[in-house]
Structure 1
Amino acid sequence: MATSSEHADNTTARGYALEGTLLEICSCGAPCPCFIGEDPDGGACYGVIAFNLERGVVEGVDVSGLTVVNVAVIPGNALAGQWRVVQLVDERASVAQHEALLRAFSGDLGGPLADLAGLVGELVAVERAPVSHGAENASGHLRVDGMVDAALEPIVASPDGAQATLHGSPFSTVAGAPAYVGKSRTFRVNLPRYGMSWSFDGRNTIQTAWHMEHRP
């Protein structure tokens, strides 16, 4: 049963307002060409995209503090779509929160998340799983119990210790917010039941502020 806090915001009773970070970890070199609209290294991109929701409401349901992870095989240019995706939803979500997140990220509620969902050619499966998201500015870790294990470190761009960043890229969804570029110390995906298992080290990680809102 949903808690009272899950129905705290009537302003999004028919839509959503989500804010947090987007973290991409993949098989491409750093920075990932997909993030700037170019074709992936080697012709295909094998990665995960984690949406860490620092604050969020979907149809009046508070989903703050939860994480949705898309494990994706992108067969060519990311903007051309046809992604093959397994979606992993934070197991801490209540039934109401889980259902709300699925409605939003499936594109059923319209808005910019529908555009994002339109890139998916095949949603292979949806699973609930323990998610540990400890990443900030492309530094830290992302773990989904037994399925995804990644450790990240930023790329330092100058002698004064400033991190490498991108600005104005197609997948940066907050105007003016930098996308922090890093590399994976380790990156493992273990989903053989869906034909998704890979291991890459020293490849791309990008993390940026993320915000999507839709009120029909």
Structure 2
Amino acid sequence: MTTTMTTPTTTKAGYRLEGTMLEICSCSAPCPCFLGEDPDGNECHGVIAFKLEKGQARGVDVSGLTLMNVAYIPGNALAGGWRSVILIDSAADDAQYEALLDAFGGKLGGPLADLAGLVGEIVAVERVPIVHEAQQVEGRLIAQGRVEAELAPIQSSPDGTTATMHDSAFTTVKGAPAYLGKSRRYRVSMPQHGMSWTHDGQNAIQTAWKMEFEP
């Protein structure tokens, strides 16, 4: 199913979501998009995973779930035109699934509607088992049969401190560090949607993430 994005109709319900945002992509580290710059080669093969440690959307508790946006980005990320496949944790029940789609699809308004506006085309929305075991950009992210990534932090000093970035273009929690890393392994395999790529040793970045909106 291919869906061309239009301005969503906002419903009178809000959301309060917090957790982490993990981005893995084809660019060299650190991610140029986090600095507002164009991606390497003027295109990006990316995965953005939102792990919702706690929160609600439209009154539905969505704590503990993960939503992933697998995207081909043709140029500067903030310019839009993304071609995306949305993957929603199969642990979500029907009410949680619909609430997440409404929130991240922009129907509930607020800053998530601005984020949804960057997507020019939603190719598909799929429910899939997701394993998200990354902390401070170390660990793994798996969407069964579709995405596989193993991540390692970039250490900025001999004591093993992870390199960080602050107050980036995608910062949503003031003062929270964005942890810099690289992918030991990064695979996307969705040929049915025209998305298959391998980019080992490239950018990975993870930061605290929070968005809320009450109309």
Flag whether TM exceeds 0.5 (same fold).
Answer: yes
Q: CA separation in 1, counterparts of 2:162 and 2:20?
A: 17
Shift of 1:34: 1.1
Q: CA separation in 2, counterparts of 1:161 and 1:172?
A: 24
Q: CA separation in 1, counterparts of 2:160 and 2:141?
A: 24
- Where do 5+ consecutive residues of structure 1 fail to align? 1-12
Question: The residue matched to 2:135 in structure 1 has which SS?
Answer: coil
The reply to whether residue 122 of structure 1 matches residue 125 of structure 2 is no
The reply to whether residue 147 of structure 1 matches residue 146 of structure 2 is yes
After superposition, residues 1-216 of structure 1 pair within 5 angstroms as 14-216=13-215
- TM-score (normalizing by structure 1): 0.93
Q: CA separation in 2, counterparts of 1:106 and 1:34?
A: 21
* Amino acid aligned to 2:115: L
Deviations 1:121-170 (A, max 9, x none): 11111000000000000000000000000000000001121110000101
Give every structure 1 segment of 4 or more consecutive aligned residues whose post-TM-superposition deviation is greater than 4 Å.
none
Q: CA separation in 2, counterparts of 1:122 and 1:22?
A: 21
Deviations 1:6-44 (A, max 9, x none): xxxxxxx82000000000000000001011110000110
* Amino acid aligned to 1:15: G
- TM-score (normalizing by structure 2): 0.94
Question: The residue matched to 1:161 in structure 2 has which SS?
Answer: coil
Aligned equivalent of 2:8? none
- Where do 5+ consecutive residues of structure 2 fail to align? 1-11
RMSD: 0.8
Aligned pairs, number = 204
